[in-house]
Amino acid sequence: TQSRSSAASDVYKRQPYERDVIQHFTAFENVNDYIFSELGIVDSSVNHPLIVTETVCNPEYCRAKMVELLFEAYQVPSVFIGVDALFSLYYNCLLYTSPSPRDRQKSRMPSSA
């Protein structure tokens, strides 16, 4: 029973991710509970769509399990999943290639000189 209790306590010490892939969904749910409580969402349902980032080549079963958890445990209306590197690329391309109307006279591109 000693090894069984230490193994059970190790489960609670683990992070939800191993090599950037969700493996421990109970820990993932606990992290989500904390995040939603910090955001002031105290109901059992989240009434807002979620944007979730993931790593490149995330296994399909992890994505499906994560979305299932978000829909069933939190009643999320919709989930958008995107690769974090592509979000960064998109943001940086918008930042440096399309000037906003407020600063058309000033270039947002870094100077090469």
pLDDT (tens digit per residue) in 28-83 = 888 888 988 898 887 778 888 999 888 888 888 888 888 998 999 899 999 999 98
Cβ(36)–Cβ(74) below 8 Å: yes
* Residue 97: per-residue pLDDT: 67
CA distance 67 to 72: 8
pLDDT, mean over the chain: 76
**The CA-based dihedral angle spanning residues 34, 39, 44, 49, taken in that order and rounded to the nearest 10 degrees:** -110
pLDDT at 8 exceeding the cut of 60: no
Which of the four pLDDT bands, split at 50, 70 and 90, describes residue 93?
Answer: confident
Q: What is the CA radius of gyration of the chain?
A: 20
Residue that has been written with the tokens 């999320």 in this structure? 76
Q: What is the mean pLDDT of residues 3-15?
A: 55
